């Protein structure tokens, strides 16, 4: 697994303003009512854990050792039982139909194979289970063209993050059906990852 110690050390500080002003409310809206067995993909430093208070159990999957070490320090503060797993989104070591919801927040931009990661999410979800997404995504027009130009350098500097992923199309391509979907732009126009996707998609029976 790749290790990004500098990025992991700076992550909470870098994301702090956006979390307080935008993402905290949206995480609450998306995650606060989830129940049952929850798989948090690319759990990072644990930003989702305080909101998953109605889950029966959370599996926090994080492949980066540097991120996982920081996440481990927060497990005792979680409101529900949490199991920490060393697992990449493209190859999940969990049984078929074992999760009631799979949560993807600010992680699908970094997976090596987006289609495979979503295929695995579908595999481990129970019939009727929910895929919960909060991600920055590919913009439109001029913004998308700039994202394409920036992508090689951006990815190298920011722990494999791809600024130009069309995550909405990939979710549909994986066979999920959107139950609720919203695109919004909470960041200034000069920020190349300003377009975000908030969505809940269902794995059909």
pLDDT at position 72 is 94
Please spell the DSSP secondary structure of 59-91, one letter per residue: EEE---HHHHHHHHTTGGG-SS-EEEE--BTTB
pLDDT at position 6 is 80
pLDDT at position 1 is 58
- Tens-binned pLDDT, residue by residue, of the chain (205 aa): 567 778 777 888 888 889 999 999 999 999 999 999 999 999 999 999 999 999 999 999 999 999 999 999 999 889 999 999 999 999 999 999 999 999 999 999 999 999 999 999 999 999 999 999 999 999 999 999 999 999 999 999 888 999 999 999 999 999 999 999 999 999 999 999 999 999 999 988 7
Could you tell me the pTM of the whole model? 0.94
**Total domain count, the chain:** 1
- CATH label of the domain that carries residue 117: 3.40.50.150
Give the residues across from 182 on adjacent strands: 198
Domain housing 125? 5-202
Among residues 114, 124, 101, the alpha carbon closest in space to that of 37 is found at 101
């Amino acid at each position: 697994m790749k290790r990004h110690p500098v990025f992991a050390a700076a992550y909470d500080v870098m994301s702090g303003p956006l979390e307080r002003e935008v993402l905290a409310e949206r995480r609450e809206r998306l995650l606060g009512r989830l129940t049952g067995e929850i798989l948090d993909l690319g759990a990072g430093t644990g930003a989702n854990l305080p909101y998953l208070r109605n889950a029966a159990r959370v599996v926090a999957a994080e492949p980066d050792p540097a991120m996982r070490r920081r996440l481990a320090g927060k497990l005792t503060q979680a409101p529900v039982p949490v199991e920490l797993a060393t697992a990449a989104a493209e190859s999940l070591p969990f049984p078929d139909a074992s999760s009631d919801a799979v949560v993807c927040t600010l992680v699908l931009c970094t997976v090596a194979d987006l289609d495979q990661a979503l295929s695995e999410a579908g595999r481990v979800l129970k019939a009727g289970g929910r895929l919960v997404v909060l991600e920055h995504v590919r913009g439109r027009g001029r913004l998308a063209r700039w994202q394409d130009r920036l992508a090689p350098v951006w990815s190298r500097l920011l722990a494999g993050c791809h600024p130009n992923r069309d995550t909405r199309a990939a979710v549909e391509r994986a066979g999920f059906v959107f139950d609720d979907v919203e695109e919004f732009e909470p960041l200034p126009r000069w920020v190349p990852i300003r377009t975000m996707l908030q969505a809940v998609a269902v794995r059909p029976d």
